[in-house]
Amino acid sequence: MNTTQSRPVTTPEDMLRSRTLADRFFGRAADLPISFVLDGRPLSGIPDDWHPVSNTRWIDANIRETIFEGTDPTTHLHIRVECTQYRDFPVIEWVAWFSNRGQTPTPIIRDILAMDENVQGASPVLHHCNGDFNSAEGYTPQETRLKAGDTLAFAPTGGRPCDGAFPYHRIVFADGGLTLATGWPAQWSARFEALADGVHIRIGQEKTNLSLLPGESIRTPRMTIMAWSGDATRSVNLWRRWYLTHILPRPNGQPMRPLLACAATDEGEEFTAATEENQVHYIGDFHRRGIRPDVWWIDAGWYPCRNEKQERKWWITGTWEPDPERFPRGLKPVSDRASRDGADLLVWFEPERVQPGTKFDLERPQWLLSAKDNNNRLLNLGNPECRQWLTDHVCRMIQANGIRIYRQDFNFAPLEHWRQNDAPDRQGMNENLSVQGYLRYWDDLLARNPGLWIDSCSSGGRRNDLETMRRSVPLHYTDYGYGEAPVKLAFHRTMYQWIPYFKECTLAWDTAGGPNASVQYGKERFDSRVDSYSYHCGMAPMLASGLDIRRDDYDFAAARKMIDIWRQSANLLLFGDYYPHTPFHRSDREWVAWQFDSPETNRGLIQGIRLPASPDETLTIHLLAIRPDSVYTFENPETGETKRLAASDLNRDGFTFKLPPRNGAIWFYSATSK
């Protein structure tokens, strides 16, 4: 069996496909791939009678931007389309802005689509996913073969872009395909209609039917398309490489690196029992045990959050200041202590959700949106005064408290708060302005706090569209199944394909008390032994170790060994090319195996995990990206075993894992010429 895989680097054929698409979409203003209805007239692109102009500039050595602009002489509606082409990857992007440059409101603009185009190709198969919705069924990849006349439509639930849908799609044709991402951190919709010779794609904000007031602007989702030749496996690694080069945040100008996160607090709900004293104490405990985290994590509950019974409840949000009872000097003593041991302070915020009776609700009710049958108030980031106040306040918090990682959560569906507050001739306006405000808020936080980076959370992973990911990483990619190994390994399989940087923890519920063991930080109790299996199931670019620093009988030496193995693995997990070797499944009766390969260094790793009920003692895989005429040296850092196998032997016989139930193994490999 020949398992040599073509390298997932950009080829001339990829670039030709991308240029052909770009020439068609961006050749003339009238051919731009947007469409809309203005005062009852269906239009596409920027019509010739709007006197469009274009200008091109190089943003850097690899990115060229062309801006098309035109104005309707009758309504004074102005359209600006920003188009981006990459020279190092076969990727094109665009976003459109609609502005009223007149003195009176525009006629109704409706059905605005960021993409309304046909793409050609034979035998299309659409790869899609159902996103995250706090269910074992989340992140399920699906492949649907499209026949002429077939239509598939997608939209998230409730206004968060990954809630029950996933704004990332792949169309596989007979000889290549397209990868699409919809950058819209709210309610998008997508419709794929199969034609005789391709697919008609319509994507945009789900609902627009509005008049723009003088001076107002709205925008479309940002569309990203990667064109590629070959098979879907190759497209996955092209996407990963482009994402890591151009999307993954670069705090202080450096790429994100793998990080170890640790946390501890006393009994209580989330971090409602965290104090200056116990946080400083536990950081010291980790240091004394030889565990050196890169991130010290303080999650929900560090602010004043008492309910009417004077109980602290983390979800009483709306007062964004350290609780003076527990942190009389703020969080700075904690960040200073963490910094001395080389750790950055991560702090959880949820500014968009405001509870009745909190400081924000009482002092600034004019900045809040309410909805029927929902107790949450939504902070209106579409209001510039509100957004600026929040930006200034949070920047002061970040700087005064030594916060290096800003973690933003969003724990309710906002769609009805937007739509119930839209006038009949302004449908979609609150959502659009809120999206603009949200992205501007994050941009300003990053600009005003050099070195800061952002963790995107939304009841898990429900707001991880590409516009959000340009500014953040999704550490907490789901709220479901922290210790349910078969499920979270299935989630990993999808995450590695689309969003390579995420966090995983080392919980294993089959031995540590079940799901409730992870709900309350202060109530977790783990076995004193270190569970190698849980570490294998927790391998990810960020690791959150589940060791209980409060226990003197914990096997910290074994924990240090597994953390060292994770550190050896993590760069390959993040930056290597990714090859899954087992099908997507959630069964505890199966194995999971995958490979991460670095062709630039001739190194890689393979990992096999035998889940608890698997009856099969062995699993044989055939590695991909094998270098012919090479000899491979394999090393298992956990057992110290080594193996040397020729490429020809690997191609013929594969590599066999042999493990007892509920166990895992990582083998690092390096290739040398014969």
DSSP, residue by residue, 532-587: HHHHHHT-SSEEE----TT-TTS-HHHHHHHHHHHHHHHHHHHHSEEEE-S-----
Tens of pLDDT, residue by residue over 598-630, are 999 999 999 999 999 999 999 999 999 999 999
Q: How confident is the model at residue 242 (pLDDT cuts 50, 70, 90)?
A: very high
Residue range 623-667, pLDDT digits in tens: 999 999 999 999 999 999 999 999 999 999 999 999 999 999 999
The values of phi and psi at residue 650, to 5°, are -65, -40
pLDDT the model gives residue 512: 53
Q: Which CATH architecture has domain 258-575?
A: Alpha-Beta Barrel (3.20)
**Chain segment 531-574, per-residue pLDDT in tens:** 899 999 999 999 998 777 888 877 889 899 999 999 999 999 99
Q: In angstroms, rounded to a whole number, what is the distance separating the alpha carbons of residues 43 and 72?
A: 12
Name the segment(s) of the chain with CATH classification 3.20.20.70.
258-575
Query: In whole angstroms, what is the distance from residue 520 CA to residue 536 CA?
Result: 23
* Range scoring the smallest mean pLDDT among 108-117, 230-239, 271-280, 518-527: 518-527
What mean pLDDT is reported for the chain?
94
673 and 633 in contact (C-beta within 8 Å)? no
| Nearest Cα residue to 536 out of 510, 516, 565, 511 | 565
Q: At what angle do helices 384-401 and 429-448 cross, to 10 degrees?
A: 30
| Identity at 30, one-letter amino acid code | A
CA atoms of 46 and 54, how far apart (whole Å): 11
Bridging pattern class, strands 259-262 and 295-298: parallel
Q: Quick one: tokens of 448?
A: 């005003």
How deeply is 253 buried, as exposed, middle or buried, from its count of CB atoms within 10 A (0-12, 13-18, 19+)? exposed
CA–CA dist 3, 581 (Å, integer)? 12
What is the pLDDT confidence band of residue 519, given thresholds at 50, 70 and 90?
very low
Contact 206, 95 (CB under 8 A): no
> Are 377 and 354 spatial neighbours (Cβ–Cβ below 8 Å)?
yes
Could you give the residue range(s) of every CATH 2.60.40.1180 domain in the chain?
577-673
Q: Packing angle between helix 276-288 and helix 332-340, nearest 10 degrees?
A: 10
- 12 has pLDDT over 90: yes
Superfamily of domain 577-673: Golgi alpha-mannosidase II (2.60.40.1180)
What is the torsion angle, in degrees rounded to the nearest 10, for the CA atoms of residue 549, residue 553, residue 556 and residue 562?
-100
**Pair 518, 485: CB distance under 8 Å:** no
Task: Tell me the C-alpha distance between 90 and 371, whole Å.
Answer: 44
Tell me what pLDDT residue 523 has: 39
pLDDT greater than 90 at residue 360: no
Backbone angles phi and psi of 7, in degrees to 5: -65, 140
Count CB atoms within 10 A of the CB of residue 230. 17
Which pLDDT band, with edges at 50, 70 and 90, does 528 fall under?
very low
Give Rg (Cα) of the chain.
26
Domain 12-246 has CATH 3.90.1150.110: no
